[in-house]
Amino acid sequence: MLDIDPPKTGHSLPKALSIAEVEQLLALPEKKTPLILRDYAMLHLMYATGLRVSELVRLPVQACNMTSCHLRVLGKGDKERLVPFGEVARERIEDYLDQGRPQLVKKKSCPFLFLNNRGGAMTRNRFWQIINGIAIQAGTRHRISPHMLRHSFATHLLAGGADLRAVQMMLGHADISTTQIYTKIETDRLKAIHQRFHPRG
């Protein structure tokens, strides 16, 4: 038995939100307090860039280039990468920087972009609570984690025709085999569509 290899364990497929569910989650409420501006800036930026939650909450203000719309992210193993973001995310960040963050900054300055209500750094657990609270208010059907937004970012990019290597770079995956799990998700989606609509599916 020592010469027999054990069966390979399969990768658990990440859960991704539909585009409609993401739109529902990101819809900005009419009331815009400093904390609401912060929360939705974080949500928009996470979906626009696929950041890990640890990268998001520790993102320095200086790492966010509002002119060229890209982030300088320090990821796992202290590896730095540049990640672009779009116009909508930039608008949410600008609203937060103009009307939200100045209200949260206390006497002791904090280098991070996203601050808690005491003027300090946001924690991962607190952002989990925030995203679930927003999901409940938005009427989503299931609990949402920050990781689901990261998975949705990658899945929606690949579904739209993005290059796998580019998605790997934006996610900060050291090995492209880690990114390839998303191609399995897309294949499963196409198979489901075929079975549903093809006369001999």
The position carrying tokens 């085999």 is 177
Q: Is 25 exposed, middle or buried, given 0-12, 13-18 or 19+ CB atoms closer than 10 A?
A: buried
Count of C-beta atoms within a 10 Å radius of residue 149: 27
- Lay out the sheet containing 64-65: strands in order across: 64-65, 70-74, 80-84
User: Among 99, 67, 71, 103, which Cα is nearest to 84's?
Assistant: 71
Active-site choice (58, 90, 150, 156): 150
Let me know if 147 is a catalytic residue.
yes
Let me know if 76 is a catalytic residue.
yes
Active-site choice (38, 44, 52, 92): 52
Cα 37–Cα 39–Cα 45 angle in degrees, nearest 5: 95
At CB < 8 A and 24+ separation, what contacts does 186-195 make?
186/155, 186/158, 186/159, 188/13, 189/159
Let me know if 150 is a catalytic residue.
yes
Active-site choice (11, 76, 106, 118): 76
Q: Are 16 and 155 in contact (CB under 8 A)?
A: yes
Let me know if 96 is a catalytic residue.
no
Q: Catalytic residue numbers?
A: 52, 76, 147, 150, 173, 182
